């Protein structure tokens, strides 16, 4: 057990070196292995390393994999807390121990001599034997370890045994906010190492933007030659610097030159990207240009395989990022599978490569005994950093090294930084936890409010040292559930202050695990301590479907911005490097959402950071409300998107809706037994609520202020959340008192007071119904009564229509959902969807699907009849097959059951989303404070076959 609880790194492995392939023979050892899980080391077979041990009765397990996702043990999720007693470096005796065994033969031509057995990732501690001989122990789950095995190999019948412990001293350093999962979860490879081959190399490829020259210099062994055919370099002694005119590498122009390093014994393909990272004038620059990091934090996650992520999945992430204009990734909070970084080089993403380190669980204990400042952990800290840098040093995409995450501060971190600076002066050091920036090169914060960022931008930071450093938000805009709201305000700050260089949204993907009918989160596996759905906080749903949050983020960070301009249309280039020469600009004119004219817009080439104004095209007259939509799209396909992919768009209003003719009053109100009849509507005579519209039974509409609270409404910071204040005020259980139903004239006036039990405050709601040709007009006047505390979730009406009304069509904001502080991605158009399709399937059910700025909406049944609602001028709506209360109660998507009705909200206002799940709440401009409000809607039955 000693090695498991030893706070030092493992033993037996060779010195860390770069990850690379070569023409030397390699044998992948991935595939089906034999596997047995024991509840503890004591219960594990003592003679498992014996090559003759009989494992025929064992299960099979794929390698790579995490055993809890294959029916052995169960996943567990905690954010901050260690799921075991904090007694460093000790771990529980009940330490699940997974023995993995593989028999393998060498390929026929396998050479004699040195060979390395490489493990790219074992969580959390692996002891390894080959043919009965112990090779050593590895810790540092997301880091490689290689062992010399040449003398032990046999042509046939090799027996490789890996004993993996779920917990080890290393677990204290791996308290990242993610699932606790164990196993050999990355590749295992046997690599022949020819004598006279290339053991390691570091290819430095700098770029001088003032001369256009690249300098290539390779640190490696003796007698290595460099070839770069496309640059005419042949047989150049690798160690000698070489200046060459080159195209630089950037995330926007990921120009890689293919080359080889060779000795007589081995050839190594290399991909060279020329770039130079500097900090100048308090700004982080590459090739002399300031960067604006439009980034995301990426954990490695697949809903079926957890942190065992294939190259295809890594590629899917890269393509989704590129297509959504993301230009940077922080590899939170460990080095990713090496394939991901190769893809970042190839497709173009700036990377903060983070070491596998987090000791957050000491935080709640006041950081007492935190490993970052305890000498016994020093070697482990340095070992982890060394393995990170050595593995990834050849990746041009990596522009910053990060020491880790949430590990407070201490000497061990400072020593890591010293080591990095010495080893790689070409990349600045990042670590958010060094608050006074005594050993880092960039000032980094997480979840700072816009006003804090502004202070830093203005140079008003209290700390002298911090004031002269580039500033980034290594985490912001927590994408948990419905949100994040408030992205626009951050973008404005990043653009206003040169030292504020962007940030990384937390986080890329929800870590939901596939379960029958839904995705699972913390607590779904019977964990005793867990953090619930806090692991569901990504821009992608677990199956990699983009969430509305990603669509919004993409719109906020689009590299080309199109707005109304002084002479017509303003086109602004927000790329950091490239001009707009690769784009085609097109326009389409829509008359009430129907395209009536389109064309190509002649836009001169706009350079990075510049803008132009171009005249409007000419178009035919339109009759209804009309909008011009201008899009910038790729003229030809790239490696990451086809031609036509839109990288920026904007809308210009062309003509407003024609004035609506005043409704011809078709009163008076008729009374029949218990009912009131006004035009197309029938009302309950006692409550004054609409019960029938045309031939359709309806319920309501009536005033409603509740929404199924979002993760952001519920918040996570100390102090009462918005949701708890709403609940304490009783806004979820308002009662409706009818004060008066006045049906004596041409109009039906229903006066009510809507108020929570036990409270003195409320809202007067007056409904004034008027009939007009074919429909009803409703004016709602809302007046707060008494001292109303805080905000309202929403303000509007709720009504129910028959469940057969399963199709929606609307003219207004779409196609996706939007809220006051998350509405940049919607445009004005005509959209249609099934009611089911209007739902956003947040893994943890909550308010969703709000369509905003809606001029009119129709809900119809398969026969085409239904109802139409018009705004005056616009309203927000949702339509769902369950109530807000049912949505609030459900804990997983498959708990939402369709009833016999479609529940519709028709709103005058919504409270914003904010990001209080972790970070600032709703900004003042987007808070819904109760005030006197009037709004008008028109209701009409829709007959089959009638347009609109
Ligand atoms: C940060 C942490 C992340 C994640 C996030 C909340 O403090 O660095 O790993 O836990 O909060 O989702």
The CATH number of the domain holding residue 761 is 2.70.98.10
Per-residue pLDDT reduced to its tens digit, 283-323: 999 999 999 999 999 999 999 999 999 999 999 999 999 99
d(CA 79, CA 223): 50
> Is 270 within a domain?
yes
Atom 6 of ligand 1, residue of closest alpha carbon: 918
Residues 812 and 896 occupy one common structural domain: yes
Sheet strands side by side (includes 681-684): 670-672, 675-678, 681-684, 690-693, 696-697
- pLDDT value, residue 1: 56
In the predicted model, what is the mean pLDDT of residues 509-529?
A: 98
| Cβ atoms of 856 and 831 closer than 8 Å | no
> Is 121 within a domain?
yes
**Residue 611 DSSP SS3:** strand
Nearest to 506 by CA among 471, 480, 545, 542: 480
Q: Is the pLDDT reported for residue 785 higher than 80? A: yes
Distance 185 CA to ligand 1 centre (A): 23
pLDDT confidence tier of residue 274, bands split at 50, 70 and 90: very high
| Cβ atoms of 289 and 576 closer than 8 Å | yes
Residues 537 and 684 occupy one common structural domain: no
d(CA 626, CA 651): 10
Q: Is the pLDDT reported for residue 400 higher than 70? A: yes
User: Which of 498, 524, 555 is the last residue in one of the domains?
Assistant: 555
> Is 947 within a domain?
no
Q: Which atom of ligand 1 is nearest to the CA of 405?
A: 8
> 856-883: buried (b, 16+ CB within 10 Å) or exposed (e) per residue?
bbbbbbeeebbbbbbbeebbbbbbbbbb
Residues 481 and 539 occupy one common structural domain: yes
> Is 667 within a domain?
no
Q: Is the pLDDT reported for residue 545 higher than 80? A: yes
Mean pLDDT of the chain: 97
Q: Which one is catalytic: 475, 489, 590, 809?
A: 475
- pLDDT value, residue 412: 98
Alpha-carbon dihedral of residues 310, 312, 317, 321, nearest 10 degrees? 150
Name the residue with tokens 């010399």: 148
Q: Is the pLDDT reported for residue 703 higher than 50? A: yes
CATH of the domain at 629: 2.60.40.10
User: Which of 555, 586, 619 is the last residue in one of the domains?
Assistant: 555
Name the residue with tokens 């590990």: 407
- pLDDT value, residue 26: 98
Atom 9 of ligand 1, residue of closest alpha carbon: 177
Percent of the chain with pLDDT over 90: 96
User: Which of 555, 571, 599 is the last residue in one of the domains?
Assistant: 555
In the predicted model, what is the mean pLDDT of residues 258-264?
A: 98
For residue 145, the surrounding DSSP H or E stretch is: strand 145-148
Residues 461 and 414 occupy one common structural domain: yes
Q: Which one is catalytic: 146, 174, 390, 406?
A: 406
Distance 547 CA to ligand 1 centre (A): 19
The preferred substitution site among 408, 475, 716 for testing ligand 1, maximizing ligand atoms within 8 Å of CB, is 475
The preferred substitution site among 297, 361, 406, 477 for testing ligand 1, maximizing ligand atoms within 8 Å of CB, is 406
| Cβ atoms of 482 and 271 closer than 8 Å | no
For residue 647, the surrounding DSSP H or E stretch is: strand 646-655
Q: Any residues with CB less than 8 A from the CB of 684 and at least 6 apart, and which?
A: 674, 675, 676, 691
Atom 10 of ligand 1, residue of closest alpha carbon: 177
How deeply is 788 buried, as exposed, middle or buried, from its count of CB atoms within 10 A (0-12, 13-18, 19+)?
middle
Residues 220 and 138 occupy one common structural domain: no
- Work out the angle between the directed axes of helices 487-496 and 450-457 (0-180°, nearest 10): 0
> Is 226 within a domain?
yes
Residues 465 and 591 occupy one common structural domain: no
Residues 421 and 500 occupy one common structural domain: yes
Distance 166 CA to ligand 1 centre (A): 23
Residues 287 and 246 occupy one common structural domain: no
Residues 852 and 925 occupy one common structural domain: yes
Residues 680 and 625 occupy one common structural domain: no
Percent of the chain with pLDDT over 70: 99
Q: Any residues with CB less than 8 A from the CB of 214 and at least 6 apart, and which?
A: 205, 206, 207, 208, 243, 244, 245, 246, 248, 274
Q: Strand pairing of 675-678 and 681-684?
A: antiparallel
> Is 938 within a domain?
yes
CATH of the domain at 445: 3.20.20.80
Residues 610 and 680 occupy one common structural domain: no
Residue 483 tokens read as 């949100």
Could you confirm whether 432 is annotated as catalytic? no
Residues 185 and 214 occupy one common structural domain: no
Q: Which atom of ligand 1 is nearest to the CA of 80?
A: 10
Q: Which atom of ligand 1 is nearest to the CA of 507?
A: 12
- pLDDT value, residue 943: 86
- Residue 532 Rama label (left phi>0; alpha psi -120 to 50; beta): left
The whole model's pTM is what? 0.98
Structure letter (DSSP) for residue 119: E
Q: Is the pLDDT reported for residue 330 higher than 80? A: yes
> Is 416 within a domain?
yes
Three-state SS string across 566-591, please?
CCEEEEEECCCCCCCCCEEEEEEEEE
Per-residue pLDDT reduced to its tens digit, 711-734: 999 998 888 999 999 999 999 999
| Ligand 1 lining (C-beta closer than 6 Å) | 79, 177, 333, 405-406, 446, 475, 478, 506, 534, 537, 918
Range of the domain at 222: 201-275
Nearest to 404 by CA among 83, 92, 170: 170
Q: Which atom of ligand 1 is nearest to the CA of 480?
A: 12
Could you confirm whether 475 is annotated as catalytic? yes
> What are the residue ranges of helices labelled H in 112-179?
none
Distance 139 CA to ligand 1 centre (A): 23
Distance 178 CA to ligand 1 centre (A): 9
- pLDDT value, residue 945: 56
- pLDDT value, residue 415: 98
Distance 177 CA to ligand 1 centre (A): 6
pLDDT confidence tier of residue 948, bands split at 50, 70 and 90: very low
The preferred substitution site among 77, 79, 298 for testing ligand 1, maximizing ligand atoms within 8 Å of CB, is 79
Per-residue pLDDT reduced to its tens digit, 404-418: 999 999 999 999 999
Q: Any residues with CB less than 8 A from the CB of 755 and at least 6 apart, and which?
A: 734, 735, 737, 761, 762, 763, 785
How big is the CA angle at 476 (ends 471 and 478), to the nearest 5 degrees? 175
Percentage helix, strand, coil for the chain under 3-state DSSP, each rounded to 5: 15, 40, 45
Atom 4 of ligand 1, residue of closest alpha carbon: 177
Distance 447 CA to ligand 1 centre (A): 9
Number of structural domains found in the chain: 5
The preferred substitution site among 77, 78, 177, 539 for testing ligand 1, maximizing ligand atoms within 8 Å of CB, is 177
Name the residue with tokens 């749903």: 541
- pLDDT value, residue 445: 98
In the predicted model, what is the mean pLDDT of residues 644-649?
A: 98
For residue 554, the surrounding DSSP H or E stretch is: helix 548-556
Q: Any residues with CB less than 8 A from the CB of 928 and at least 6 apart, and which?
A: 791, 792, 793, 794, 795, 820, 909, 910, 911, 912
Q: Which atom of ligand 1 is nearest to the CA of 333?
A: 9
Atom 3 of ligand 1, residue of closest alpha carbon: 177
Nearest to 737 by CA among 724, 716, 753, 719: 753
| Cβ atoms of 181 and 368 closer than 8 Å | no
Distance 779 CA to ligand 1 centre (A): 46
In the predicted model, what is the mean pLDDT of residues 627-633?
A: 98
In the predicted model, what is the mean pLDDT of residues 87-108?
A: 98
**Residue 729 DSSP SS3:** helix
- Before 316, cis peptide (omega within 30)? no
> 667-694: buried (b, 16+ CB within 10 Å) or exposed (e) per residue?
bebeeeeeebbbbbbbbbbeebbbbebb
**Residue 458 DSSP SS3:** coil
Nearest to 352 by CA among 293, 310, 281: 293
User: How far out from the chain centre does Cα 384 lie?
Assistant: 26
CATH of the domain at 91: 2.60.120.260
Nearest to 842 by CA among 946, 714, 941: 714
Catalogue the E-assigned strands of 714-761.
735-742, 748-755
> Is 666 within a domain?
no
């Amino acid at each position: 057990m000693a090695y498991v609880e030893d706070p030092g790194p493992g033993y037996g492995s060779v010195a860390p070196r770069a990850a690379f392939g070569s023409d030397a023979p390699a044998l992948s050892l991935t595939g089906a292995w034999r596997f047995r899980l024991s509840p503890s080391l004591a219960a594990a077979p003592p003679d498992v390393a014996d090559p003759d041990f009989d494992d025929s009765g064992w299960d099979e397990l794929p390698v790579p994999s995490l055993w809890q996702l294959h029916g052995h043990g169960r996943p567990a999720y905690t954010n901050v807390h260690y799921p075991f007693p904090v007694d460093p470096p000790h771990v529980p005796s009940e330490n699940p121990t997974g023995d993995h065994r593989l028999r393998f033969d060498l390929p026929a031509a396998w050479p004699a001599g040195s060979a390395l057995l490489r493990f790219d990732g074992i969580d959390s501690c692996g002891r390894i034997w080959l043919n009965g001989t112990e090779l050593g122990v590895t810790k540092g789950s997301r880091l490689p370890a290689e062992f010399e095995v040449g003398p032990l190999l046999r042509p046939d019948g090799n027996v490789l045994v890996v004993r993996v412990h779920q917990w080890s001293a290393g677990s204290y350093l791996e308290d990242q906010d993610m699932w606790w999962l164990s196993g050999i979860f990355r590749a295992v490879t046997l690599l022949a190492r020819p004598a006279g081959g290339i053991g390691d190399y570091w290819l430095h490829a700098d770029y001088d933007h003032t001369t256009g020259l690249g300098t290539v210099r390779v640190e490696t062994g003796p007698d290595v030659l460099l070839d770069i055919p496309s640059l005419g370099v042949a047989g150049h002694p690798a160690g000698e610097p070489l200046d060459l005119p080159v195209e630089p590498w950037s995330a926007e122009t990921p120009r890689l030159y293919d080359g080889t390093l060779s000795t007589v014994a081995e050839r190594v393909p290399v991909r060279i990207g020329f770039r130079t990272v500097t900090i100048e004038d308090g700004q982080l620059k590459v090739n002399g240009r300031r960067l604006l990091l439009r980034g995301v934090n990426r954990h490695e996650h697949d809903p079926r395989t957890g942190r065992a992520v294939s190259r295809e999945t890594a590629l899917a992430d890269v393509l989704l990022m590129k297509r959504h204009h993301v230009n940077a990734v922080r590899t939170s909070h460990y080095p990713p599978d090496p394939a991901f970084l190769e893809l970042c080089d190839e497709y173009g993403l700036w990377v903060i490569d983070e070491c596998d380190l987090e000791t957050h669980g000491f935080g709640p204990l006041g950081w007492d005994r935190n490993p970052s400042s305890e000498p016994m952990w020093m070697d482990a800290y340095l070992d982890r950093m060394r393995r990170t840098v050595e593995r990834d040093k050849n990746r041009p995409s990596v522009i910053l090294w990060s020491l880790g995450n949430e590990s407070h501060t201490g000497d061990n971190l400072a020593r890591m930084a010293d080591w990095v600076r010495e080893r790689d002066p070409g990349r600045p050091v990042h670590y958010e936890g060094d608050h006074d920036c005594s050993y880092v090169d960039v000032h980094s914060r997480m979840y700072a409010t816009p006003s804090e960022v502004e202070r830093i931008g203005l140079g008003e930071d209290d700390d002298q040292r911090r004031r002269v450093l580039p500033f980034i938000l290594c985490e912001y805009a927590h994408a948990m559930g419905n949100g994040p709201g408030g992205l626009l305000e951050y973008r404005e700050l990043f653009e206003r202050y040169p030292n504020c260089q962007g940030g990384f949204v937390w986080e890329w993907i929800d870590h939901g695990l596939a379960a029958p009918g839904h995705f699972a989160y913390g607590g779904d596996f019977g964990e005793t301590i867990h953090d619930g759905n806090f692991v569901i906080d990504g821009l992608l749903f677990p199956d990699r479907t983009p969430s509305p949050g990603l669509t919004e983020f993409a719109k906020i960070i689009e590299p080309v911005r199109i707005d109304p301009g002084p002479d017509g249309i303003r086109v602004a280039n927000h790329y950091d490097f490239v001009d707009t020469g690769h784009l085609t600009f097109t326009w389409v004119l829509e008359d009430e959402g129907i395209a009536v004219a389109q064309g190509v817009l002649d836009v001169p080439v706009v350079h990075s950071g510049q803008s132009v104004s171009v005249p409007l095209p000419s178009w035919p007259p339109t009759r209804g409300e009309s909008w011009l939509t201008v899009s910038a799209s790729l003229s030809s396909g790239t490696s990451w998107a086809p031609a036509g992919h839109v990288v920026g768009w904007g809308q210009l209003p062309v003509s407003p809706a024609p004035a609506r003719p005043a409704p011809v009053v078709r009163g008076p109100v008729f009374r029949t037994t218990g009912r009131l009849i006004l035009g197309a509507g029938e009302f309950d005579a006692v409550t004054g609520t609409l019960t029938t519209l045309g031939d359709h039974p309806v319920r309501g509409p009536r005033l409603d202020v509740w929404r199924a609270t979002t993760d952001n409404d519920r918040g996570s910071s100390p102090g009462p959340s918005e949701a708890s204040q709403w609940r304490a005020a009783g806004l979820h259980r308002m009662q409706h008192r009818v004060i008066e139903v006045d049906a004596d004239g041409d109009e039906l006036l229903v006066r009510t007071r809507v108020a929570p039990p036990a409270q003195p405050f409320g809202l007067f709601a007056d409904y004034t119904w008027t009939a007009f040709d074919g429909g009803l007009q409703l004016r709602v006047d809302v007046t707060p009564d008494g001292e109303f505390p805080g905000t309202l979730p929403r303000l509007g009406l709720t009504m129910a229509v028959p469940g057969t009304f399963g199709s929606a069509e609307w003219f207004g904001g779409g196609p996706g959902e939007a809220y006051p502080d998350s509405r940049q991605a919607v445009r004005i158009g005509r959209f249609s969807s099934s009611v089911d399709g209007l739902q956003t399937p947040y893994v943890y059910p909550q308010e969703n699907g709000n369509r905003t700025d809606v001029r009119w909406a129709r809900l119809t049944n398969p026969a085409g009849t239904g109802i139409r609602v018009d705004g005056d001028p616009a309203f927000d709506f949702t339509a769902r097959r369950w109530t807000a209360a049912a949505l609030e109660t459900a804990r997983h998507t498959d708990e939402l059951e369709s009833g016999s009705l479609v529940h519709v909200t028709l709103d005058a206002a919504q409270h914003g989303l904010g990001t209080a799940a972790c970070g600032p709440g709703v900004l003042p401009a987007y808070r819904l404070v109760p005030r006197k409000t009037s709004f008008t809607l028109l209701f009409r039955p829709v007959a089959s076959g009638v347009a609109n």
